[in-house]
Amino acid sequence: MSGVRTIDSCGEVMSRWWRGRAAKKTLIAGAVAAVVLYVFGDVLSALLYDGYSYLDQAISELSAFGSPVRPLMVAVILTHNLLLLAFGIGLLRVARRRSALWWVGALQVAEFVLVGIPTHTFWAMSSRDMATGFNDTMHITLSVVFSVIVLAMMVLSAVAYRGWFRFYSFATMVVVVGFGMASSLAIRGIEQNDTPWAGGFERINAYAYFAWLVVLAVVVIRHELGSSREGGEVGGSPPEVPIPA
């Protein structure tokens, strides 16, 4: 009987933790962990890939079919996406249902299902020395879907939080779109093995998005789960409430 009571008490403790503020903070902090892991994986994989150019080759070439560092980078990306899934769930838990912030969380969860799993596993791109195939077409298609989802999340986050964060989100969108287009133009010469700055442009695009994720996570924790909030359950902020500068 004492063993049963111990199991029940452990379950109650876990249930209280899951319903409390600490669990929500942990889930939302997953975005920060996801960014740190991805950057570490990107740099390490590039260093281990003999002949790889950090400036001239795309990030996707690290996880491409035929890449010598594919197992490492795929593991990093899948873990990164699991952490972002936790972030999305955290947003859903702190936001009012159907609010702008709630939709950011919903899109983050949808991104995991639609893009996060298949893009670098089933539909990874082919290495430069391999013939292209349907996987490359799907990789490009899913990359476009991912970009649309990210931009939608940025717009919704700007609706959720006014003030400096709104301007920051819009500025990030300009950087992401601009350098995304530059990267797309640079990668067109991949069949001729001539892609100057394709990797540099893509990394500015990706790291700007990563920086936005970290800032959003910090803003959500401070604004939705700050010390001024009482109780474990909190709702998303209405668009009229600005974030203090």
Give yes or no for a contact between 234 and 28, defined as CB atoms under 8 angstroms apart.
no
Distance from C-alpha of 245 to C-alpha of 233, rounded to nearest angstrom: 25
Give the pLDDT of residue 226. Answer: 80
CA torsion angle 85 86 87 89 (round to 10): 90
CATH number (domain holding residue 187): 1.20.1070
Which pLDDT tens digits describe the chain residue by residue (245 residues)? 455 455 557 777 777 767 788 999 999 999 999 999 999 999 999 999 999 999 999 999 999 999 999 999 999 999 999 999 999 999 999 999 989 999 999 999 999 999 999 999 999 999 998 999 999 999 999 999 999 999 999 999 999 999 999 999 999 999 999 999 999 999 999 989 999 999 999 999 999 999 999 999 999 999 998 854 433 333 334 443 333 33
Residue 235 falls within a domain, yes or no? no
Give the pLDDT of residue 8. Answer: 55
Residue 85 falls within a domain, yes or no? yes
Give the pLDDT of residue 18. Answer: 72
Please, which residues have CB within 8 angstroms of residue 81's CB and are 6 or more apart in sequence? 34, 112, 116, 117
Residue 164 falls within a domain, yes or no? yes
Residue 8 falls within a domain, yes or no? no
Residue 72 falls within a domain, yes or no? yes
Residue 128 falls within a domain, yes or no? yes
- The pTM of the full predicted model, rounded to 2 decimals, is 0.87
Residue 12 falls within a domain, yes or no? no
Distance from C-alpha of 25 to C-alpha of 194, rounded to nearest angstrom: 45
- Domain residues for the domain of 39 are 22-224
Residue 243 falls within a domain, yes or no? no
For residue 242, list its beta bridge partners. Answer: 162
Number of independent structural domains in the chain: 1
